[in-house]
Amino acid sequence: MKLSHVVNKFTNIVYTYLKYSEYLKFQSKSASDIKLYQERKLKRILTIAVNKVPYYKPYKSEIDFDNFSLQELKKLPLINKDIIRQNPLDFIREDKNINNLQWKSTSGSSGKPFKVPKHYFSDAIEVILGYRAWSFGKFSYRLREPAIVIRSFSPKENEPIHKRDIIRNFWYLSPYHINDGHLPIFLKTFKKSQAKVLKGYPSSVYILTLLLKKHNIKLPQIQTIITSSETMLPKYRNEIESYWQCDVLDWYGQNERTVTVQQCSYGNYHNNDDYGICEIDTDNTIIATSLNNDIMPLLRYHTNDKAIPLHEKNITCECGRAMHIPFKGIEGRQDDILYKEGKEAIPTINFYNLMEKFQNIKQFYILQEEDLSVNMEISENQPLNDNELLQLKEGIIQRLGNVPLQINVVKEIQRNKQTDKVKIIESKVKL
């Protein structure tokens, strides 16, 4: 590792400790103070962009820096991965030496590589916002509060199914090994860590919940559950909330580090207004602007993620935070959308509602091939009878039209080895 990168790692740790309380206080800012803060940060990034970033230079005369408001952002075009991929250097500051940069790679399901350079304190801000998100529930947490983490860890064969990150005080458990045989190791790790926070994918927390329920084991030490990176199905949430009886806070972010949004105790999704600006396009796509990345400014970046829109604008939250509430929830990524005959997109929520009716289905996975045919896998709590299977088939045909449909009952829905996640819906349909 380069010396400058080692120094960067160290300064990021120092920055985390110095800035955490300031970030915690941001939650209590008034709406007008938040607006002023965002204007100041956006103005800084736009000034850098139009002066130093080739793609944005032509917009220098368009932006009114003298009478600046957040509306100036709308003068810029939407950008996306494909536009940046065509000429990445066009999006990077000319005064930075590309060989000295550190990068954040994205693991998109499309398989095409894409990477974004990190700004100097990028890693620290991710850590800070991660901890701050835990405090959006009923309890507040300090830095290095211990947490059980059931995600981002896939041990090789013969390796232990747990590991510890001492710097962050994370106690990892493998999301691939949540089963009867490994339950004692899970329980031992919970006890030893004294963690009050549990972090995981919606699917890994759900499977753990079912396992504990089966063995009638309660773990009252957990006060806050944080989920992210997969769709939180209503079925998962109901099961998790009723068992743990604590805050279950879902988090949204992307590897490009543009916006992050998290739930509070009241279930609303608050944007981290000190981190990014979140717009929702007419087709409900999340359009994100980073307020921190001054090396590759990502301004009005089309994320490909679909939000569930709010019915009313400018809603306020009972939690008292004035941080924006940009959407009602996350529907999924573009490749999570299913299409009916004629290639009409069907909102995924339709399938989630259908699956709610089948309480004996533990998990499901729907794969739609390019020719619109559907292969579905289900795992069961209790075996489904013929009548239930027929109802399931009819429900899907009702939503997708008369497409070829195959339903297979499997013992377990497999986790994707590359991403560690469990996809619920996947589409290979090309538009």
Which residues are near Zn ion by CB under 5 A? 264, 266, 268, 317, 319, 321
Closer of 33 and 341 to Zn ion (Cβ): 33
Supply the minimum distance, in Å, between the C-beta of residue 274 and Zn ion: 16
Q: Considering the complex, what minimum distance in angstroms separates the CB of residue 42 from Zn ion?
A: 23
**Which residues, in sequence order, are CB contacts of 67 under 8 Å at separation 6+?**
none
309 or 395: CB nearest Zn ion: 309
Q: How far is the CB of 308 from Zn ion (least distance, A)?
A: 17
Task: Name residues whose C-beta falls within 8 Å of residue 395's C-beta, 6 or more positions apart in sequence.
Answer: 354, 357
Give the C-alpha separation, 19 to 123, whole Å. 13
CB of 317 to Zn ion, least distance (A): 3
Angle, vertex CA 345, rays to CA 81 and CA 314, nearest 5: 70
Q: Nearest approach, Cβ of 270 to Zn ion (angstroms)?
A: 6
Of 88 and 309, which has the nearer Cβ to Zn ion?
Answer: 309
Q: How far is the CB of 30 from Zn ion (least distance, A)?
A: 15
Handedness of CA 300, 228, 250, 305 (dihedral sign): positive
Structure tokens at 430: 């090309």
**Of 328 and 393, CB closest to Zn ion:** 328
Q: CA angle at residue 248 from 242 to 251, to 5 degrees?
A: 150
| Closer CB to Zn ion, 171 or 327, in the complex | 327
Torsion of CA 80, 82, 86, 92, to 10 degrees: 30
* Pairing of β 260-263 and β 247-253: antiparallel
Q: Which is nearer to Zn ion, 23 or 120 (CB)?
A: 23
Q: CA separation (Å) from 292 to 10, 80, 256, 272, 299?
A: 19, 18, 12, 12, 11
Cβ closest to Zn ion, residue 315 vs residue 390: 315
Rounded to the nearest whole angstrom, what is the least distance from the CB of residue 38 to Zn ion in the complex?
Answer: 18
> Tokens 């569930």 map to which residue?
308
| 30 SS3 class | coil
**Secondary structure in 3-state letters for 35-47:** HHHHHHHHHHHHH
Closer residue to Zn ion (CB): 317 or 354: 317
Provide, rounded to whole angstroms, the least separation between the CB of residue 324 and Zn ion: 11
**Spatial CA neighbour of 175 closest among 199, 204, 155:** 204
